[in-house]
Amino acid sequence: MLTMFNDESGSAMVLVFLVMTIMIIMTTSMMAIVTNEINISKAKADVVQASYLAEAGIENVINVINNRPLAFTNGVEDFINERSSNLTSILYNDSTLGYNYDKDDDGSIDKDDIQRNGKVYTITSEGESNGINRTTSVDVEIDDLNAFENAITAGGEIDINKTLILQKPFVDVIGGQVENANNILDFKFSKYKKIAQVKDQYFTSINKFKSTFGLIEGVTMPPGVVYIDNDLPDLSFLIGVKGHSKEKPTILVIDGDVKITNFLSSGGENIYFIVNGKFELKYSTTMDVNNIFIYAEKGVSLRALHLDYSGVIMTPESVTLRNLDLVSSDVTYKPIDIGALRPIDQGWIDIKGYQYN
């Protein structure tokens, strides 16, 4: 009897040992599985975080391209031609999310991180999170925007009256003039129209336009696109009217011709005219304007006793300048805010899809 009891007691201990061993193995396995899942989740989170940081780098470049495209393209050209470039200071900021552009040890951007093939720029950005690295690249096609870097760019001729004896132009163009240009950009009027309609700044009646803004000398117009779906045979009611500000100019789009005739003076500032016709100033005493952009599909003609123009003039046709007094006038180049001028889907800049490595 005692022998039988001892045998059963030993069997129970073996059974308990087996059960405990199985439980330890199961617990260890479960812990390994949980730990592995945690590591996988953490690795996935690091991959996502690294991807976000890489994308943040790309987004910063795209923001610069959208708002300061010439600063970007000119900076890249400096890199390509091994000249000093301010692109690093434009794009890189140590405090911004911790991303970089596969930068060198000294913190500068290597020119290999921004490649150009014709009009297509390939930008590469790298993000890192806990040792996990993700690289993102994007192709951006940018049209030739150099027409914005001249005081006057015309697809036709630039005709400026000259003194009879010395044949010296009565109008000094300061900042460059290019005629017979082939890089005049395409302005899509339908895009401006859509934006103005959304913001309730679209007008088919000149009287409605006048009554809305109460246009008298010194009035400041709103920022953004204001669209007039009509010719303006007499623009004298806009004399002295100002655009919103240098930082947020008024984009005044006229779907037709613009004529300003027979008045004493023309002033104004911070207005970008986009005209689906001809822009004509005739028989004015003076034209004294600052930070003005004029684009006209069918040419620009400015005839005044004295011209003092600061900004940019652009047309696919010809430009005529007539200074009617004996004192030389000036048309002076002033940089234009291309970001404010360009609707999102205007074109000029085409951003392709992201690619991940």
Span 189-201, pLDDT tens digits: 999 999 999 988 9
pLDDT greater than 50 at residue 106: no
Residue 328 contacts residue 309 (beta carbons within 8 Å):
no
For residues 170-190, give the mean pLDDT. 90
Identify the residue with better confidence: 165 or 357.
357
Q: What is the pTM of this model?
A: 0.78
Mean pLDDT of the chain, nearest integer? 79
Residue 318 contacts residue 297 (beta carbons within 8 Å):
no
**Ranges 31-45, 113-127, 140-154: which has the least confidence:** 31-45
Coil/strand/helix, residue 145 = coil
Identify the residue with better confidence: 197 or 105.
197
Q: Where are the beta strands (DSSP E) in the chain?
A: 114-117, 120-129, 132-142, 152-154, 158-160, 171-174, 177-178, 202-203, 224-228, 250-254, 258-275, 279-296, 300-315, 319-323, 329-333, 349-356
Between CA 276 and CA 105 the distance in angstroms is 52
Identify the residue with better confidence: 262 or 309.
309
Residue 183 contacts residue 147 (beta carbons within 8 Å):
yes
